[in-house]
Structures are given as structure tokens and as C-alpha cells.
């Protein structure tokens, strides 16, 4: 029986999905570690917000996190390049909540 999940077509599809998600998340300012720390339900909502079907494997999310790190490194080396500017960092708060400072 053919294993379609591990075919070249499936791998190409996963890579394209990872790139779409990474592009969307990078413009929000979400980092790889923040993404991987999110609950699965939040990640699924993020994927839908990116108009992408949520990945069914953790492997795809790890790939997205790696792509985010690569883009961060590239943007740090090329700060003046138009592609190094994030467009919607104000939306990050909807997805990644900052830690709450306890009352003194």
C-alpha cells in the first residue's frame, strides 16, 4: 500500500504550508519559541487566521519555528531591506500574551 504522507508531493505541500504560516507569523512578530510554546488549539486558530489549514503534524510546526528563526536572523543582517519590516506586530498580543507581573 502506498504511503502518501511521505511522498514527494506531501513533503512539498508541507513545506509550502510552513512557508505560508511562517510569513504570516513573522509579520505578527511571533518567534519560533513562542509558537512552539502555544497550545495546539491556539496554533490551529493561528493557521486559520493565516487562511491555511492547520498542520496535522508537530513536524510542520517545528519547520515553521525554524523558518521564523531564519527570517529573524536575515532581518537582523539586513535591517534596511523592505522585507525586514514587520507589518502587523500590534496583532501579536492577540496570540502571545505577555507574562503578568504579580502585585507587590
DSSP string covering 57-93: SHHHHHHHHHHHHHHHHHHHH-TTSGGGS-S-GGGGG
* C-alpha to C-alpha distances, 46 to 19, 37, 43, 55, 104, nearest whole angstrom: 14, 13, 5, 11, 34
Residue 29 contacts residue 86 (beta carbons within 8 Å): yes
Provide the pLDDT for residue 92: 81
Provide the pLDDT for residue 11: 83
Which of 41, 44, 49 is CA-nearest to residue 92?
Answer: 49
Provide the pLDDT for residue 3: 57
Query: pLDDT of 18-62, one tens digit each?
Result: 999 999 999 999 999 999 999 999 999 999 999 999 998 899 999
Establish how many alpha carbons lie within 13 A of residue 24's alpha carbon, considering only the half-sphere containing its beta carbon: 18
Question: Would you state the cell numbers that stand for residue 44, as one nine-digit string?
Answer: 490551529
pTM of the model: 0.82
Domain residue ranges in the chain: 8-94
Query: pLDDT of 45-57, one tens digit each?
Result: 999 999 999 998 8
Amino acid at each position: 500500500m502506498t504511503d502518501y504522507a511521505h511522498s514527494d508531493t506531501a513533503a512539498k505541500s508541507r513545506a509550502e504550508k510552513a512557508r505560508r504560516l511562517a510569513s504570516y507569523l513573522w509579520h505578527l512578530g511571533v518567534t519560533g519559541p513562542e509558537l512552539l510554546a502555544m497550545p495546539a488549539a491556539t496554533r490551529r486558530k493561528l493557521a486559520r487566521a493565516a487562511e491555511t489549514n492547520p498542520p496535522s503534524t508537530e513536524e510542520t510546526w517545528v519547520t515553521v519555528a525554524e523558518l521564523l528563526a531564519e527570517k529573524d536572523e536575515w532581518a537582523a543582517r539586513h535591517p534596511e531591506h523592505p522585507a525586514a519590516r514587520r507589518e502587523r506586530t500590534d496583532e501579536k498580543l492577540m496570540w502571545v500574551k505577555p507574562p503578568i507581573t504579580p502585585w507587590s
